[in-house]
Each structure stands twice: as C-alpha cells, then as structure tokens.
Structure 1
Amino acid sequence: MKKLLYLPSLLLALTLWSCGGQASDSNTTAVGTSPGPGQSAVLDNVSNPNIVQVALGSSDHSTLVAALQAANYVDALTNVGPFTVFAPTNTAFDALPAGTLDDLVKPENQRKLRDILEYHVLLGVYKPGDFVNGRNLGTADGRSVSVTVAEDGNVTINGAKIIGTVSASNGIIHVVDQVLLPK
C-alpha cells in the first residue's frame, strides 16, 4: 500500500525531469521586447511570390512600393489574402497633380495615403473574366469601385484601364494606367 502512495510523486518527478524541470512557451515574447517585423520580413525565394514581392520585382511599380511602405501597408498585402489589387504604374502616379504624391507620403498624411491604397484593394480574387459591366465592387476601405467593360473587351475600374494581369500567391494584380482616387 505504501508503494502506491509514492507512485504519483514518482511520476511527477519523472515528468519534470524529462521536461528539463522547466516549462517553456516558444510563442511568448519576453517582457520589454517588441514582436518581430511581420510577414513582410519572411524571406522565401522558392515559393510563388506574393503581391508585394511581385511589385518589388517590377520596375514599373517602384512608386507604388514606396507608397505602400510610407503608409505602413506592406505587411497587410503580404498576408494570406486572397486579394485583388489594382496596381497603378509609375506613369500613373506621375500623372497626379504636381506635389500630390510628395504631400501624401508625409508622416502626418499616412492615414490618407493608406485610405487611397486600400481603395485599390478588393478582398477576394477577381480574374479578368469576373468583371461585369456596371458592377460595383467593395474595396478594402469600405467604399466601392465601378467596373466598365467596353465592347472591345477592355476593362476599366473607375476609368482606369486594366493594362495587364499578374497572379500572385495571395491573390491577383491588375496593372492600371491611373491612380484610383476615392470621391
């Protein structure tokens, strides 16, 4: 009978010894330290690129990438998604009134810039064949954009012509020739 009384203590001691006597949680952050840099810091040159990686690899989208960084919106678009992004070219940004972009990338205008960038993002994947003339699509900022399909098949979003489409691991990118500005 005495042997049975010692059995729970023996099991507890063996369990602690086999675990090294300490419990550890690799998912906690030490007090006083900040969390890691986020999804955009993951280096992966093997998998299909995500939306941000595609934009980084395009010399025609360096202004968009700079705007994403200024708005602190890079991590959002590197997440799983799926997203549809209307990506204005550098030429589209150049067509904005003089000083507009310089003003938007100022730290005090970060929220305004982010709102404009979110206006270029749809939740879900919309392939070219999914665009229906007259359809309104809800954007990530809670507004909507309007689709126009011309007789020749060209698609515009709020007047911005889709000039190319690229798939990404977390969605699809439609290259557009204008910056979409919310009303």
Structure 2
Amino acid sequence: MKNLIKTLLVVLGLAISAGCGTSESQSGTTNMASSAPSVGQSGVKDDQSNPNVVQIAVSSQDHSTLVAALKAADYVDALTNVGPFTVFAPTNAAFDALPSGTLESLTKKENQRQLRDILEYHVLLGVYRAGDFVNGRRMGTADGRAVEIEVNNDGEVFINGGKIIGTVEASNGIIHVIDKVLVPN
C-alpha cells in the first residue's frame, strides 16, 4: 500500500512536471523593467529537477484540499523553497473529518494567519524519515509548537494521533501522508 501511494505520487508528479513548459525571450535577455508581476519561488519553472513538496502535493488527487489551504494561507512559496522540510500532509478525507464549517471559515481572508499557523504545525525543519521518529518524543514545528510522536509495537508511526500512511521523498524534503489534520491546542 505504501509503495503504491509512493509510486502514484511520483508518477503524477513527473507527469505534471513533464507537462509544464518554459519559455525564453527570443533575445535571450531579461528585461528587469518589465511590468510582469513578480512571483515567488513557486513561479519558477524547472523541468529537470525532482519535484518539491508543493509540486508533489499538487500532483496528488488525495491532497487537493491541502493545496487549496496552502494557497489560501499564502504558504506555497515558503514550502517551495530549498528546505529541507518534513511535511505531514493530511489527505482530503482527513480534512473532510473536521467539524462542519471549519475549513470554510479558515480559508476566509480574515483567518489567513490562523490557517497558516495550522499549516506550519504540519511542518518540521529538517528531514525526518519514519525510522527517525522515537516513541514519546516531542518535535518542534515551524509554528514554534511541538507535535508528539507515537510508535506502536508494529512500528506504525503516529503524529498527535494521526497515522503516517505513506511517505514520498521530495527535492526539498520529505512528505509523510497522514490520516488526520493536526490542530494545535
């Protein structure tokens, strides 16, 4: 199951990357005085490198809600940067399990900071593979809080009760797919 999820995400990421084109100026120079809007790191097109954590999430049908939340929180560029990051990526089903109206409220412009705090709670600075997690350990998140790790006797890893159900390596870190949205206390 984990290998199937990983394979699907990688294939989808590569398919999307292959479909993205780049264009160059005919003169080969860049006009810095251009009136084109500036874009962050997420606007850089790169068909040669491995996909980053955002590109992988975008390519996953199971993470469309997460991608929409990243956009609403203006957090795409931050996770497109070099990293390295460990991202706990809730599935669409995990978002669907939130109390009714929660996601709709959080994605309103006036709640952007609160949504970003929640998303940052899903990010660790550095790369942590499943084998790096130790039962009972608390790990600091990008929002300055901490998540608690649980490893059961079968070796399954849980983050604040959310089970890691798949893992995908990215060019700027690692993604652990989880079955729960982590909400800070």
TM-score class, shorter: 0.7 to 0.9
2:161 is equivalent to residue 156 of structure 1: no
Give the C-alpha shift of residue 36 in structure 1. Answer: 1.8
Corresponding residue SS for 2:88: strand
Distance 1:33 1:87, change over 3 A: same
Matches within 5 A, 1:31-110: 36-110=38-112
Give the C-alpha shift of residue 46 in structure 1. Answer: 2.3
Tell me the equivalent position of 1:7: none
Q: How many angstroms apart in 1 are the aligned matches of 2:169 and 2:177?
A: 11
Tell me the equivalent position of 1:123: 125
2:120 is equivalent to residue 113 of structure 1: no
Q: How many angstroms apart in 2 are the aligned matches of 1:85 and 1:180?
A: 11
- Which of 1 and 2 has higher RCO (CA within 8 Å, sep 6+)? 2
Tell me the equivalent position of 1:133: 135
Give the C-alpha shift of residue 45 in structure 1. Answer: 2.4
Letter matched to residue 64 of structure 1 = L
Runs of 5+ unmatched residues, structure 2: 1-28
Give the C-alpha shift of residue 33 in structure 1. Answer: 6.2
Q: Percent identity?
A: 72
**TM superposition outliers: structure 1 runs of 4+ over 6 Å:** 32-35
Letter matched to residue 170 of structure 1 = N
2:178 is equivalent to residue 176 of structure 1: yes
Q: How many angstroms apart in 1 are the aligned matches of 2:160 and 2:121?
A: 11
- TM-score with structure 1 length normalisation? 0.82
Letter matched to residue 163 of structure 1 = I
Q: How many angstroms apart in 2 are the aligned matches of 1:157 and 1:138?
A: 12
Q: How many angstroms apart in 1 are the aligned matches of 2:127 and 2:163?
A: 18
Tell me the equivalent position of 1:6: none
Letter matched to residue 39 of structure 2 = P
Tell me the equivalent position of 2:17: none
RMSD across aligned C-alpha pairs, in angstroms?
A: 1.8
